Chains A and B, each alone.
With several copies, the nearest count.
Chain A
């Protein structure tokens, strides 16, 4: 991948202003390694907090919507609509509401990754095979018991699809927050390096983000392997 990038910059004789070659980026990184890693840490923390809050709230909302088709019918169109509103456009408002500092970034991360988790959890919850559902009903299991012991475990593989998609969105959300209020984090590094046309530095930050994204994705995938080993076993 890196070699591809390198080859591309070389073959097209790319202007480092547009796309810097890997060595330039490495050079930019070595200019300020600790600073960059510190900023990466800031972004990572915002991302993780936003991601965690989104996971919890999306799953809770999914439970609520799964509990009642009426509530789902009534509110879901609104949720889908709100979700389509570009958070970027609302970002200035958030700044006013929740203020400077990490809150805005966490909120953006939360908002961006909330919906995929919600939708995939809902899809997972409504895919319980009918024989398992009937079995659970035949035991007079309460709604909550069926949920905890049958529907939720069955939904886990699909929930994880949402969780995996959400990792990248959480990072992007945090960065959007940081671009709006670029005090700290890799987003602010990008803003300031774009303003000074220091493209290699911007790419160093982007590369760190890519690494962070892949790492988060695979961390969630690893968690999936631990929590849902049976899903692989019953599929081919």
Chain B
């Protein structure tokens, strides 16, 4: 039926994609790819939905409401490792390093992980930040038990720090700007990636079924999305402006700040292309999680990542 049309005018594929969490800087690339026509170039029409964290995103993927999703890779691996939900594969990394960090303000005089001993730290209850803290602390030479962890809803974190109800937060380092605004103090960041170097941050995932049925679509989507990601870190101001159009309450400055902050974590070491995932690192990630007792043994990198879509040079 498309004989009459010209050869390049293949029918567009309609897919739905869900962002990791809402519409903030770290997720701007999806809108950038759409706005700049990267998806259209490869014949894909994307419906971007705003995510609400790992669990809802995995649920949405499983229920077939979206075909692609961004989420925190480490958290998803923990779920897969527990055998709770394995029906997904990562196809590209958004952040090469985890963005999880300990964050505090300068007046606490906490400058190294060891300073946390005897202090209270708030984290998202049950979040990856909380789960990985013991592993992080041990590597940093701190007794994890010496820190009092207070689990709360993530929206409450900045307030608790600003009012000094706690001495530190376990949170994504991208919320640095928000904490600075909230506390009006200088923010100190101790990234987990200083010690846990192999953990990825957000990743783009899809279902094994789609990979099997239409690898070409997955490939095209991955390429276009990563092109958007590259473009975003190259042109943070423009990316933030595009995002601001979607969500006017999210200021350009905030968006640019976040994109700038995450840029170092997006670029792979050694000039590898954006989005690449290294099998060795994934294996070490799994090992770290197993080592800290978060998941049983048995999970292999191939269970969670399909390495075919971002080619190493």
User: Which residues of A are in contact with B by a Cβ distance under 8 Å?
Assistant: 15, 17-18, 32, 35-36, 91-93, 95-96, 99-100, 179-183, 188-189, 191-199, 201
Q: Is the CB of B65 within 8 A of A100?
A: yes
Task: For the complex, give the distance between the alpha carbons of A100 and B19 in Å.
Answer: 13
Task: For the complex, give the distance between the alpha carbons of A36 and B247 in Å.
Answer: 11
Give the Cβ gap from A36 to chain B, nearest Cβ, in Å: 8
Chain A interface, DSSP helix/strand/loop, else mixed = helix
Give the Cβ gap from B57 to chain A, nearest Cβ, in Å: 10
Q: Is the CB of B59 within 8 A of A95?
A: yes
User: Which residues of B are in contact with A by a Cβ distance under 8 Å?
Assistant: 18, 22-24, 49-50, 52, 55-56, 58-60, 62-63, 65, 79, 82, 84-85, 125-127, 150-153, 155-156, 158-160, 162-163, 165, 175, 177-179, 181-184, 247-251, 254
Give the Cβ gap from A74 to chain B, nearest Cβ, in Å: 32
Task: For the complex, give the distance between the alpha carbons of A191 and B125 in Å.
Answer: 8
Interface centre among A96, A180, A189, A197 (most CB of B within 10 A): A197
For residue A198, which residues in chain B have a CB less than 8 angstroms away from its CB?
84, 181, 249, 251, 254
For residue A194, which residues in chain B have a CB less than 8 angstroms away from its CB?
55, 155
Q: Is the CB of B249 within 8 A of A201?
A: yes
Q: Given that A188-B50, A193-B249 are known contacts, is A17 also in contact with B125, CB under 8 Å in the complex?
A: no
Out of A96, A180, A196, which one reaches B165, CB within 8 Å? A96
Out of B63, B84, B153, B163, which one reaches A197, CB within 8 Å? B84
Chain B: CB-nearest residue to A99: B65
Give the Cβ gap from A71 to chain B, nearest Cβ, in Å: 33
Q: Given that A197-B84, A197-B178 are known contacts, is A191 also in contact with B60, CB under 8 Å in the complex?
A: no
Q: Is the CB of A195 within 8 A of B248?
A: no
Q: Given that A17-B159, A32-B249, A99-B65 are known contacts, is A196 also in contact with B151, CB under 8 Å in the complex?
A: no
Chain B: CB-nearest residue to A36: B249
Q: Is the CB of A181 within 8 A of B254?
A: no
For residue B178, which residues in chain A have a CB less than 8 angstroms away from its CB?
195-197
Q: Is the CB of B150 within 8 A of A96?
A: no
Chain A: CB-nearest residue to B246: A183
Give the Cβ gap from A60 to chain B, nearest Cβ, in Å: 30
Give the Cβ gap from A219 to chain B, nearest Cβ, in Å: 27
Out of A180, A195, A201, which one reaches B52, CB within 8 Å? A180
For residue B179, which residues in chain A have a CB less than 8 angstroms away from its CB?
197
Q: Is the CB of B177 within 8 A of A196?
A: yes
Chain B: CB-nearest residue to A183: B50
Out of A32, A182, A201, which one reaches B50, CB within 8 Å? A182
Q: Is the CB of A96 within 8 A of B84?
A: no
Task: For the complex, give the distance between the alpha carbons of A205 and B153 in Å.
Answer: 19
Give the Cβ gap from B99 to chain A, nearest Cβ, in Å: 14
Task: For the complex, give the distance between the alpha carbons of A192 and B160 in Å.
Answer: 18
Q: Is the CB of A100 within 8 A of B49?
A: yes
